[in-house]
Structure 1
Amino acid sequence: MTGGNKIEKYLFELIQVALGNRSALSTVPTQQEWQRLYGLMSKHTLIGIGYVAIQNLPREQWPPKMSVLQWTSVANGIRNRNMTLNEECRSICEEFTHDGVESVVIKGQSNLEYYPEALRDYRTPGDIDLWCQARNGVEIGEMVNGEVVKSEFHGMAGVIEYCKQYERNRGRNIPWHRVLYYHCELKSDNGIAIEPHYRISYLHSPIRNHRLQKWFTQQFDVCIHNKCLIGFPILTSSVNVVYQLVHLYRHIFENGIGLRQLVDYYFALRVWHNDVMECKDLLSQGMWSEGLGTPVMSASEVMAVLRSFGMAKFTAAVMFVLHEVFAMTTHYYICKPNEKEGKKLLAEIMQGGNFGQYDTRDAALKKGGMVKHGVWKLKRVMRLVRSYPEEALWEPVFRVYHLVWRKING
């Protein structure tokens, strides 16, 4: 076994310890190996998860004292950041709702609700992502000839115009090229990045994207009423198990994914599976539902949705990775794993780290100007064409469409 493969083996085992799928490492890492393992965990933004794993290891397998202090210091910072962001999510959702923009917290902080209590505070947070709709209209005021003229906007336009006004009220503007097809970017009064999504996600293929937009739009009502204990709405477990996979799929084409995103999906699957099992027990009592009476989707129903999005092969690849890396048991599968595609996906994940930030392939192109970056993106997408031809071949077309869309709507 090479040194790199040995550290990856320790990485997988340490994650499994944190998840409760094993009790100890196969061997005790040396001090140098612990340092390399820390670097690899950091690459995948899993320091907090690693910290919890260390607490669960037999004492004789703990890293050196100075290493433990390093893990502990970062983990405490993660816990404090999560507390701050949880409160910010609640506050922002209340503010948006008051102003006429209904908001559901997606990915990010909403994932904490799916994590077990021992791990919940130690998931490395990012920004705040919201799924927003302005169904009852949003009133926007603009200065015209020294007078405030008010206009009412609905739907997606309502969310976009509200976000623009949100920034104007704070002396900032959203550049046209940052009003994207699915979200724009704001800063809260506390300086925290917020991404309001007027489309929860997207696919490159027009037909698949149409199906995706239609399906998720139909799910918004039940999700807006699905409040978590912290006090803000989150996706129901059935919607989440579909959405998180769409999120992974899209980022494979964008820049890559890391193991943190797979840990998120692992717990999304577990919570959804437990809801399904619980509802099967309740079925005999005529009470099979989640949220406000919405039926929990079975595995076959989830797969039917994912298949309609053209994601069956990717789903099978993810099942393989979850089993290989996290030792996920077969009863959590939503389909049979695809070993060939799973190995390719895992290689991509280990190459790039968190959202592909550590991928050194064609680095000069990636960090170059618009043309060079476009070439880098095309090369990345073409690596995926054999696995996911429909989505890969539509990507260049969607990129041109997206540029035109931003110029019109930004």
Structure 2
Amino acid sequence: MLFFELLQISVGTRQGLSFTPSAEEWREAFDNAKRQALVGVCFRGVQCAIKADNSKVVNLPLKLNMQWLAITANIQRRNEVMNHRCAELYGLIKAAGYGSCVLKGQAVAMYYDDNSNADETNRMSLLRQSGDIDMWMVANVEEVIRWARDTDTMYYYDYHHADLSLFPDTEVELHYRPSISRNLWRNARLQKWFKGEGRQHIVYNEQLECCVPDNVFSLILTLNHNLWHLLYEGVGLRQMMDLYYVARSMQSSDEVSRLLSRFQLESFASASAWVLWYLFDGSADNSLFVSQQSPLPAPNERLGRFLLDEIMKAGNFGHHDERLKSERYSSRTRLMMQWFRHTMRLVRYFPVEVAWTPLGILRISMWRRWRYSAMRNVEF
């Protein structure tokens, strides 16, 4: 598939295209890039393919090429704005006397840059499509919500984070919990680690001018975040590419193995390892993900094929999953039945997570109801 080859060219595991795609295949690749929020990354693959062998790109429609270029330029400008906003938000929180740390997004994008793509005008970190700003404010829930309310821009909060419209050009998710799980046993272990040992894995990034997680923290965070989205919304290739670059920056260690076991992430990590090997490394025998040096467990093909199938059907954050679009169903009951079938698909592969889901939903719902009730009349 052309889309997969463009991804491999972008990350440097393939030198050029293996065939001459038709105009229709180029349109299909562009559509897949949009579905997976990888337009900028794939355009880098197009540019590298042209340099490698221009004759293989002769059927790329000019209009499509110009559209692809325009969107990529917007992505680059957007990332520059987001990087500035991260530093600005970090400074505001620091001025209030609190520590903070950018999660996911702009922080994980820093792993996209290495010696093979160091061209300042075409940095991979600027080609990753950004969303909102995820900032972990290292304080207790009450202090975070108090600070958020004092900005007069908070419009929602839940068990995980508060939503702020602090800037005119980007939304902010202000986290008091970096990541969560509906598996209450696993969630308790995650929160204990974030509050304690996890804080030792925060480092200052001079390029972003704010603190970010190191690669150990980022690996655990990305795996848990991707598993959450697979279970409840849908996970896309942008999130898997984040995991690819974080894992590529690391080697296996006793600490990572211990954390994967502690947080029950081994099964999902092995499924992810297969996807990363198959998709980004082009099934190469010398791939990091089939060697003993990988921070992830050995690839599990059965779980990996299921995960890849879900990714390609669901698109970025499940936005393109035709199976779960509410407008397809004539009643809420039919939609709920479809969600039940979605859950049954998952139970074969991740039974423990599915089994915990009802209790997790109840626990989080009760927390939110109690918190809203307790804080309704509190003056901040």
Aligned to 2:278: 324
Contact kept? 1:256, 1:354, Cα under 8 Å: yes
**1:211-257 CA distances to partner (integer Å, 9 max, x unpaired)?**
11111222453344433422011001111111111111111112011
Aligned to 1:88: 85
Aligned-partner Cα distance in 2 for 1:403–1:302: 32
How big is the shift at 1:350? Answer: 0.5
Contact kept? 2:86, 2:208, Cα under 8 Å: no
Aligned-partner Cα distance in 1 for 2:199–2:334: 43
Aligned-partner Cα distance in 2 for 1:52–1:388: 35
Which has the larger Rg? 1
* Equivalent position amino acid for 1:250 in 2: W
Aligned to 2:4: 12
Aligned length: 351
Aligned to 2:204: 226
Return closer, same or farther for 1:355/1:367 CA change in 2, 3 Å cut-off. Answer: farther
Matches within 5 A, 1:217-366: 217-273=195-251, 298-327=252-281, 328-329=287-288, 330-331=290-291, 333=294, 334-364=296-326
Return closer, same or farther for 1:407/1:246 CA change in 2, 3 Å cut-off. Answer: same
SS of the aligned residue for 2:177 comes to: coil
Aligned-partner Cα distance in 1 for 2:332–2:91: 39
Aligned to 1:29: 21
Aligned-partner Cα distance in 1 for 2:369–2:239: 31
**1:160-206 CA distances to partner (integer Å, 9 max, x unpaired)?**
2222232xx35xx52xxx42211121112324100011011112222
How big is the shift at 1:374? Answer: 5.5
Aligned-partner Cα distance in 2 for 1:156–1:121: 33
Return closer, same or farther for 1:299/1:375 CA change in 2, 3 Å cut-off. Answer: farther
SS of the aligned residue for 1:335 comes to: coil
How big is the shift at 1:346? Answer: 0.6
Which segment drifts farther, 76-85 or 330-339? 330-339
Contact kept? 1:102, 1:224, Cα under 8 Å: no
1:203 to 160, 172, 181: 181
Aligned-partner Cα distance in 2 for 1:31–1:132: 48
Aligned-partner Cα distance in 2 for 1:386–1:83: 42
2:39 to 43, 47, 58: 47
1:60 to 31, 38, 55: 55
Return closer, same or farther for 1:401/1:355 CA change in 2, 3 Å cut-off. Answer: same
* Equivalent position amino acid for 1:319 in 2: A
1:124 to 126, 129, 140: 129
Aligned-partner Cα distance in 2 for 1:183–1:373: 28
SS of the aligned residue for 2:174 comes to: strand
Aligned to 1:288: none
Return closer, same or farther for 1:27/1:109 CA change in 2, 3 Å cut-off. Answer: same
- Determine if the alignment matches structure 1 residue 111 to structure 2 residue 73: no
Aligned to 1:391: 353
* Equivalent position amino acid for 1:409 in 2: R
Aligned to 1:69: 66
Aligned-partner Cα distance in 2 for 1:186–1:376: 33
Aligned-partner Cα distance in 2 for 1:67–1:102: 45
* Equivalent position amino acid for 1:399 in 2: I
SS of the aligned residue for 2:129 comes to: coil
Contact kept? 2:324, 2:339, Cα under 8 Å: no
Aligned-partner Cα distance in 2 for 1:219–1:375: 42
**1:291-330 CA distances to partner (integer Å, 9 max, x unpaired)?**
xxxxxxx433212211221221111100000011111433
Contact kept? 1:366, 1:377, Cα under 8 Å: no
How big is the shift at 1:365? Answer: 7.3
2:144 to 159, 164, 170: 159
Alignment RMSD, CA only? 2.1
Aligned-partner Cα distance in 2 for 1:368–1:226: 51
Aligned-partner Cα distance in 1 for 2:160–2:332: 21
**1:103-124 CA distances to partner (integer Å, 9 max, x unpaired)?**
1001011122111243121111
Contact kept? 1:228, 1:234, Cα under 8 Å: no
Contact kept? 1:127, 1:192, Cα under 8 Å: yes
TM-score (norm 2): 0.87
Aligned to 2:375: none
